[in-house]
Amino acid sequence: MEGQPVPLRQRTTLRTGGVPTLYVEAGTENHLIEVVAEHDRAAGLLRSDGTQKIDNPSAWHSVPTASESSEQGLLVLGGGSNLVVADKPFSGTVVTDTRSDLLVRGHDRDGRVLVEATAGTTWDDLVSHTVMQRWSGLEALSGIPGTVGAAPIQNIGAYGREIGDNLVSVRAYDRLTGEVVSLSRRNLALGYRDSVLKRSLHELEPGGGRTWKNTGRWVVLSVTLELDEDRLSAPVRYGELARTIGVEVGERAPGDEVRAAVLELRRSKGMVLDPSDHDTWSAGSFFTNPILSKRDADEVLPFKAPRFPVQNSDRDPLEGKVKTSAAWLISQTGFEKGFGLTPGAQARLSTKHVLAITNRGEATSDDVVALARAVRDGVEEHFGVRLEPEPVQVGLTI
């Protein structure tokens, strides 16, 4: 159904965003696909038979982007938690998948339960359900805002775990071909907060000859995960979490205890949504942790800078690379908790965690962008490391 054209700031956790031309709530898979396909036809991206208007996909330089083909845009909106949206009117279609279904698909050859969740399902509702069912694997990802459909795009992760650890496949609508496809974990080429789904937003090769901007080439319909049927969690990989629970790194603990500890830690950092707490009016961690070669890390990072082992990526081998802490770099540059560009600034770093940019009530998208640029540029000037924004940028560039 079509909803009221309210500003997107009412549908995003950072509380920014203008009024869309059209807002649609899709309650079925077919409806969701129809809305996306109709937008693409109206934008001149599809022929009437549903096929893409690309005669020579290898001629990437000559193919217009999805946003250049029409003034209209398309935004498939989940929980609105990983977005920075411009306050100007959004000249296009916003569609939300309202489905929230979960289906047990049986077991794999190793005896793990296969669970398929529709894209509109709230991520933490899924995690809570799996913990209650004593299905192990997702408990460390408790409290992450957003929906199941957004999770593989970003390869969400926290406390030493990523969705990729349990991901089997993604069922998606391919806007390039007009077909519903199944993408295996290998197809998704997962990396640190990255996937081929995300890269199709801005890169020509995964986009099939064009970039797709606000919503990528593939619209996620459902996600299938494999989980152990065990009341104990997956091995705890993160030191802070292990200390909170009272176990050693690598040990396991009851899944419900791990979930409770993760929620406690996230709340202490303003990372669990609370309408009454402006520290949670954010897009979560605003910058990804930089991954550097060991040589670059030795050259630009002081000895005391955090250095973490880097999990191997499906996209690129990460041997010989080091991950450091964006939060540490920000703090050491001199940006403190609660920092704002002016005394009365409405966009400020969280008072609980410097990695989050928060809206203190009346911040505009321009305010957020200005603060993000100041932090990014300050860290680069001080350390020679350029921080990369994690949220998707809609109608603006940081």
Which residues are marked as active site? 193, 285, 390
Contact 151, 185 (CB under 8 A): no
**Of 293, 279, 296, 398, residue with least CA distance to 347:** 279
Q: How distant, in Å, are the alpha carbons of 117, 139, 252 from that of 132? A: 16, 10, 17
Helix (H) or strand (E) holding 365: helix 365-383
Alpha helices in 2-145 (DSSP H): 29-42, 123-132
User: How large is the greatest C-alpha to C-alpha distance in the chain, in angstroms?
Assistant: 61
d(CA 122, CA 379): 34
Per-position DSSP letters for 223-285, written without gaps between them: EEEEEEE-SBPSPP--HHHHHHHT--TT---BHHHHHHHHHHHHHHTT-S--TT-GGGSEEEE
Residue 133 C-alpha from the chain's centroid: 26
d(CA 178, CA 279): 41
Compute the distance between CA of residue 269 and CA of residue 125 in angstroms, rounded to an integer. 20
Instruction: Work out the burial of residue 190: count CB atoms within 10 Å of its CB; fewer than 13 is exposed, 13-18 middle, 19 or more buried.
Output: buried
Look up tokens 């996209």; give the residue. 315
In contact, 355 and 330? CB cutoff 8 Å: yes
- Extract the tokens encoding 54: 């690309």
Q: Which secondary-structure segment (H or E) carries 366?
A: helix 365-383
- How is residue 32 written in tokens? 């969701």
String of b and e for 296-332 (b: at least 16 CB within 10 Å)? ebeebbeeebebeebbebbeeebeebbbbbbbbbbbb
